[in-house]
Every structure is written in structure tokens, then in C-alpha cells.
Amino acid sequence: MSEEQTAEDRVNSLAVEVRILESTFNELTSRQNLLERALLENRAALEALKELGERKPDEVLLQIGGGALVKSTPPSVDKVLVNVGSNVIIEKPKDDAVTLLEGRAKQAEQSIMSLIGQRNEIAQRLDTDKQVLQNLLAQGQKG
């Protein structure tokens, strides 16, 4: 009876651990997706700043939200308003803004790589736990 109880306890604890690992894996995936979207937005802003500084188009499309755009004359990019956190926005020279955005991009890339590493570790542990759980369940059905 005690062997059955310990095997049952082991199955239950593994099942709980698998659920926790799956939840953690999903959370890390969500964070990675959020960071990837932020990185894409950051890169788009960098590209726009660089392009507007190099050549002056006759008109630009200005996104106003909700998928709507308006035609506008190109804004001056000598000074750029940049959100520095906690909804604090400061005016910076274009070169400083580019440097700040490039730094954010590097941080985002490093965070994404870290999350990928964590996800891979969890995925390996999850696979191992699932295999052990399947083996324990198979042994329980034989016995």
C-alpha cells in the first residue's frame, strides 16, 4: 500500500509541476512576444528618424491611431520628444534620441535572448517531466 501511495504522490506532484512549468513557459512566451513587438516599434522609429534626417520628402503619412493616417508635411527632426519612462517625455536632439532608441533596442534584444534561454530550459524540463509522468502512469496501469 505504501508503494502505491508513494507512486501516486509522485504522479500527483509531477502533474502539478508540469502545470506550473507550462504556465511559466506560456508567461515567458507572452513576455517575449511583447518585447518583440516593442523592438519592432523601436526599430521603425529609428528608421523614420534616420530617413527624415537624411532626406526631406514632400509629405509623410502620420498615424493618428485606429489604423487611420493623415498626410502631413514632414516634421522637423532636429529635436525629438522621447518618452523616458513613467510617462515622462523630454525633448532631445535627434542624435541623442537615436542613441537612446538604439540602447533600448539592444536592451530589448538582450532580454529576448534571455527569455529564449529560459524558455528552452523550461521546455527541456517540461519534456523530461512529461516522459517521467507517462512512464509512471504506464507502470501503474501494468501493476
Give the tens place of pLDDT for each residue, 50-88: 888 777 778 888 889 999 999 998 888 889 999 988 999
Amino acid at 131: Q
143 band by pLDDT with thresholds 50, 70 and 90: low
124 phi-psi bin (left φ>0, alpha ψ -120 to 50, beta other) = alpha
3 state SS of 33 = helix
pLDDT at 22 > cutoff 70 = yes
67-70: long-range pairs with CB below 8 Å, 24+: none
Helix (H) or strand (E) holding 140: helix 94-142
Cell of 80: 525629438
Share the mean pLDDT of the chain: 90
CA–CA separation, 91 and 107 (whole Å): 22
| Beta-strand pair 60-65/68-72 | antiparallel
- The pLDDT of residue 139 is 83
pLDDT at 1 > cutoff 60 = no
Strands (E), the chain: 60-65, 68-72, 79-85, 88-93
Regarding pTM above 0.85, the answer is no
- Check if the beta carbon of residue 122 is closer than 8 Å to that of residue 20: no
3 state SS of 56 = coil
CA–CA separation, 126 and 134 (whole Å): 12
Q: What architecture (CATH level 2) is domain 2-142?
A: Orthogonal Bundle (1.10)
